Amino acid sequence: MHAAVPTPFGSMLTAMVTPFTPDGQLDLEGAAHLAEYLVRGGNDGLIVCGTAGEASTLRDQEKDDLIRIVKDAVGERALVIAGTGTNDTSHSIDLAKRAAKAGADGQLVVTPYYNKPTQSGVFDHFTSVAGATDLPVMLYDIPGRAGIEIAGDTFKRLAENPRIVAVKDAKADFGSMVEILRKTRLAVYAGDDALAFPWLSAGAAGLVSVSANVAPKHFRHMVDAIRTGAWLHARKLNFELTPLIRAVMDHVPAAVSAKWLLNMQGRLPCDFVRPPLSQPLPTEISGVTAELFDTQWALA
């Protein structure tokens, strides 16, 4: 049953962190190497310039360069989805056009944050950004960051737009997610690592994961097990991934912990994050390592 679920952006997508050099400059070579590692680990899609990619501190030209280098690195092996959403409709339209020119295969458009527009404003924002290019759109519903949700009726209206094909659901509301599946044609992508197993089991198309920066093959195996109906094996893999997910998501901002772990693995030469994010304190990292201690994720 799940193998037939449409996957317009693939079924396994990592929300890539953005590598920087020790002095805070964009590390394009590091981004290419990380993208290659993630695709070899089973990703058929990559999100760049998203939340975990520190999009809020990337300059527009840096976003263009990052999209271009990642697409050059992965070629046709994976789709590259660019985060283009901001809380300024005009700027988002410009970023959408730039992403298309840089070679992106699609765009991730977050609910406009901070402004708290009405649902009419939310609909107009998404419609305007979707209309700016031919790129297919994945909506990004994350009220914990945006301050507002995308309402059910708004989803139904947006689903009538042929360019809007999917939603990254980070609302942590199972009933709402099921209603999207029931009442629209939108493909749902699990946007909360800890909820990937139930969301996929209910019929989500795939997941967009931050933790998968660190363990792409393990997430790939879980996704495949669910999509082929190997439920007991999928549940076992979910249990095994749980400490890692907590390590990445629960103690410091996910970009910070994911970069720290990638650096410990030797996959990133530097774990620099741009302010206002900061390098983790020893007391903060102790929480990350405690989750991993005495499991298959132990760093020793």
CB 152 within 8 A of CB 183: yes
Neighbouring residues of 23: CB distance < 8 A, sequence distance ≥ 6: none
> Who's near 12: CB < 8 A, 6+ residues apart?
42, 43, 44, 45, 206, 207, 209, 212, 216, 219, 220, 223
Helices (H), 114-195: 119-130, 143-146, 152-158, 174-183
The sign one gets for the Cα dihedral 259, 81, 8, 163 is positive
Q: What is the sign, positive or negative, of the torsion defined by CA atoms of 68, 72, 76, 77?
A: negative
Catalytic one among 71, 140, 171, 189?
A: 140
Total residue count of the chain as it appears in this document: 300
Instruction: Check 63, 168, 171, 259 and give the catalytic one.
Output: 168
What is d(CA 229, CA 207) in angstroms, rounded to the nearest whole number? 16
Told to judge if 37 belongs to the known catalytic residues of this protein, a careful annotator would answer no
Q: Check if 259 is active-site.
A: no
What counts of helices (H) and strands (E) characterise the chain?
12, 8
Q: Which residues are catalytic?
A: 140, 168
